[in-house]
């Protein structure tokens, strides 16, 4: 055979191997059954649940606890509707979900956390784990017990080895990103004093802004969430001692009092916030924003102006963070929501970058104190590395009961542009994590191709 043909064949082979290699790892569900006796249950009374991929090697005493997102329920009607699907009942949850991005177990895709104990806590309380109402209405049979779930899951994980943690991160995206803000110091408090413990909030910096009609829509909405779930006593006291509980659901009023180091990954034009804070359905009865909300390319100049105004407010709300190195931030100008649990935005050759740094590197460098990170992007549309969102994944449509195979599918990592990643060092890293016949073949291919 001529060498061109051999190359072609080897190329095919490499693709076949990459396909296997980048298949998301699926992690089975664990139900926290002993939580039921403590009244720590989902909206429908079912046990809480999480997915746990055990750490190994140097990561054996490091713990990443990621909280699932999926909006909130703000009254009996919306909470009752949640009981019928996975965000309100563990009986409706997928038995396994894909782990990718910061949850990936592959060094190539997640170089600093791949061998940690990685946990994804399922969201089924509708209050970012803050609710605690003792009484259960006999008619609705709704349980508002998010804060109890948080405590029960912590207890369970501590017993499973987290009590020996040397490194730990609480993270989450969207309502889960808010969970990691609201519970940041509490998480720190249950871990060993000597451990390095930090908080990471992805798309959790919801701001208290007026909508396009000038109404305080999100403030009213959060106030209903807090009232419905009896959250007040579980919000950080450093905030509730000064302000009304409904305000203490907004990161901007409490972050300056958080003592544990915290990092925010957020788009300045967070697509959830544009859709639900700036231009919620009630503020746009004619649906003028419909196509703009779906795709930023469809926005009119007026709409873009309002979005630039939103960014200005977003950045103003961030100033309370100050510039201390313990408070990190990666604020890009993308139109998106949640960037740490998807491979394409966490770490890939074409992932979003600020100061030539991917989110994966910024977060890890900050966590290990290799360097502080405090970057705010120039305004839209200046950043060519953005992945602007066209259609949101299912977890962003909290009021619909979609069944998902995995909330964090790794399908994107299978796209051919993954090959762009293939500089020599990364190829070699790929091989070094591969064992057996696959590793041998890949080594061969690399020798031939590079
Ligand atoms: C519950 O909240 C939803 C969403 O905000 C709203 O549309 C609905 O009218 C509310 N229902 C009641 C009974 O308050
Ligand atoms: C924070 O800002 C002040 C004033 O702008 C500056 O003097 C200081 O060096 C900054 N600190 C860090 C850690 O960037
Ligand atoms: C919601 O879930 C229920 C029960 O699982 C199902 O019967 C119904 O068709 C679902 N609705 C939607 C809109 O998917």
Q: Answer yes or no: are the C-beta atoms of 297 and 234 closer than 8 Å.
A: no
What pLDDT sits at residue 94?
97
- Indicate which ligand has the atom closest to the C-alpha of 85: 3
Q: Provide the pLDDT for residue 75.
A: 98
pTM of the predicted structure, to 2 decimals: 0.84
According to DSSP, the residues that pair with 330 across neighbouring strands are 265, 375
**pLDDT tens per residue across span 94-121:** 999 999 999 999 999 999 999 999 999 9
Q: What is the pLDDT of residue 3?
A: 72
How far is the centre of ligand 2, averaged over its atoms, from the C-alpha of 322 (Å)? 9
Res 424 pLDDT > 80:
no
- On the question of pLDDT at 435 being above 70, the answer is no
Query: pLDDT tens-digit profile of 281-304?
Result: 999 999 999 999 999 999 999 999
Long-range (24+ apart) CB contacts under 8 A made by 349-355 are: 349/417, 349/418, 349/420, 349/421, 350/385, 350/387, 350/417, 350/420, 351/385, 351/387, 352/383, 352/385, 352/386, 352/387, 353/383, 353/385, 354/330, 354/383
Residue minimizing CA distance to atom 3 of ligand 3:
84
Q: What percent of the chain has pLDDT over 70?
A: 83
The whole-number pLDDT of residue 5 equals 76
Annotated active-site residue 337? The verdict is yes
Give me the architecture of the 26-409 domain, per CATH.
Answer: 3-Layer(aba) Sandwich (3.40)
Does the pLDDT of residue 155 top 50, yes or no?
yes
Terminal alpha carbon distance of the chain: 20
The Cα–Cα gap between 182 and 248 comes to 9
Q: How many CB atoms lie within 10 A of CB 284?
A: 18
The residue annotated as part of the active site, out of 337, 374, 410, 412, is 337
pLDDT at 227 > cutoff 70: yes
Distance CA 198, CA 347 (A): 20
Q: What is the pLDDT of residue 296?
A: 95
Identify whether the C-beta of residue 130 lies closer than 8 Å to the C-beta of residue 91: no
Say if residue 389's pLDDT is above 80.
no
- pLDDT surpassing 80 at residue 273: yes
Query: For residue 430, is pLDDT > 80?
Result: no
Q: Domain residue spans in the chain?
A: 1-23+413-450, 26-409
Which pLDDT does position 174 carry in this prediction?
98
Residue 420 clears pLDDT 70, i.e. is over it: no
CA torsion sign for 363, 367, 373, 374 is positive
Q: Which residues line ligand 3 (CB under 6 A)?
A: 84-85, 400-401
Pocket test for ligand 3, best of 84, 87, 88, 404 (most atoms within 8 A of CB): 84
Q: Which of 323, 369, 376 to mutate to test the pocket of ligand 2 (most atoms within 8 A of CB)?
A: 323
Residues with a CB atom less than 6 Å from ligand 2 = 323, 325
Among residues 46, 62, 89, 174, the one annotated as catalytic is 174
Evaluate if residue 4 carries a pLDDT over 80.
no
How far does residue 138's CA lie from ligand 3's centre (Å)? Answer: 24
For residues 417-439, average pLDDT: 48
pLDDT of 446 over the 70 cut: no
What is the average pLDDT value for the chain, to the nearest integer? Answer: 89
Other Cβ atoms within 10 Å of 227 Cβ, number? 14
399 CA closest ligand 1 atom index: 4
The 10s digit of each residue's pLDDT in 46-73 is 999 999 999 999 999 999 999 999 999 9
User: Of residues 272 and 443, which shows the higher confidence score?
Assistant: 272
CB 92 within 8 A of CB 242: no
Give the pLDDT of residue 388. 83
Residue whose Cα lies nearest atom 1 of ligand 2: it is 323
The pick from 71, 76, 78 for probing ligand 1's pocket by mutation, whose C-beta has the most ligand atoms within 8 angstroms, reads 78
What pLDDT score was predicted for residue 20?
A: 55
Q: What is the DSSP letter of 47?
A: P
262-280 burial code (b ≥16 CB/10 A, e <16): bbbbbbbbbbbbbbbbbbb
pLDDT over 70 (residue 399): no
Indicate the range of 23-32, 40-49, 416-425 predicted with least confidence.
Answer: 416-425
């Amino acid at each position: 055979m001529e060498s061109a043909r051999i190359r072609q064949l080897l190329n095919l082979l490499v693709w076949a191997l990459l396909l296997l290699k980048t298949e998301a790892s699926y992690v089975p569900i664990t139900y926290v059954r002993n939580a039921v006796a403590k009244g720590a249950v989902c909206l429908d009374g079912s046990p809480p649940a999480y997915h746990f991929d055990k750490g190994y090697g140097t990561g054996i005493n490091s713990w990443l606890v990621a909280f699932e997102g999926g909006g909130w329920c703000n009254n009996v009607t919306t909470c009752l509707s949640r009981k019928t699907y996975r965000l309100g009942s563990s009986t409706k949850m997928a038995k396994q979900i894909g782990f990718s991005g910061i949850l990936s177990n592959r060094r190539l895709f997640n170089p600093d956390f791949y061998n940690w104990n990685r946990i994804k806590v399922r969201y089924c309380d509708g209050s970012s784990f803050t609710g605690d109402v003792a009484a259960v209405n006999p008619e609705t049979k709704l349980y508002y017990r998010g804060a109890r779930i948080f405590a029960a899951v912590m207890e369970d994980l501590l017993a499973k080895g987290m009590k020996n943690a040397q490194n730990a991160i609480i993270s989450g995206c969207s309502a889960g990103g808010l969970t990691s803000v609201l519970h940041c110091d509490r998480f720190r408090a249950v871990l060993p004093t000597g451990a390095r413990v930090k908080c990471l909030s992805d798309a959790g910096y919801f701001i208290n802004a007026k909508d396009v009609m000038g109404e305080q829509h999100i403030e009213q909405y959060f106030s209903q969430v807090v009232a419905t779930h009896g959250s007040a006593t579980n919000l950080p006291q450093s905030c509730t001692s000064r302000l009304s509980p409904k305000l203490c659901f907004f990161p901007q009023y409490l972050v300056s009092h958080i003592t544990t180091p915290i990092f925010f990954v957020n788009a300045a034009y967070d697509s959830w916030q544009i859709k639900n804070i700036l231009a919620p359905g009630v503020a746009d009865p004619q649906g003028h924003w419909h196509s703009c909300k779906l795709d930023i390319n469809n926005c009119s100049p007026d709409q873009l102006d309002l979005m630039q105004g939103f960014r200005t407010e977003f950045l103003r709300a961030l100033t309370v963070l100050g510039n201390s190195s313990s408070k990190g931030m990666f604020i890009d100008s993308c139109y998106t929501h949640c960037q740490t649990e998807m491979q394409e935005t966490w770490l890939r050759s074409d992932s979003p970058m600020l100061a030539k740094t991917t989110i994966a590197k910024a977060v890890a460098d900050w966590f290990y104190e290799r360097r502080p990170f405090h970057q705010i992007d120039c305004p839209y549309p200046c950043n060519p590395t953005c992945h602007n969102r066209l259609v949101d994944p299912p977890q962003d449509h909290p009021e619909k009961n979609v069944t998902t195979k995995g909330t964090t599918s790794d399908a994107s990592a299978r796209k051919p542009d993954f090959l762009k990643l293939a500089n020599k060092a990364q190829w070699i890293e790929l091989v070094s994590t591969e064992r057996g016949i696959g590793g041998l073949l890949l080594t061969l291919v690399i020798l031939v191709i590079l």
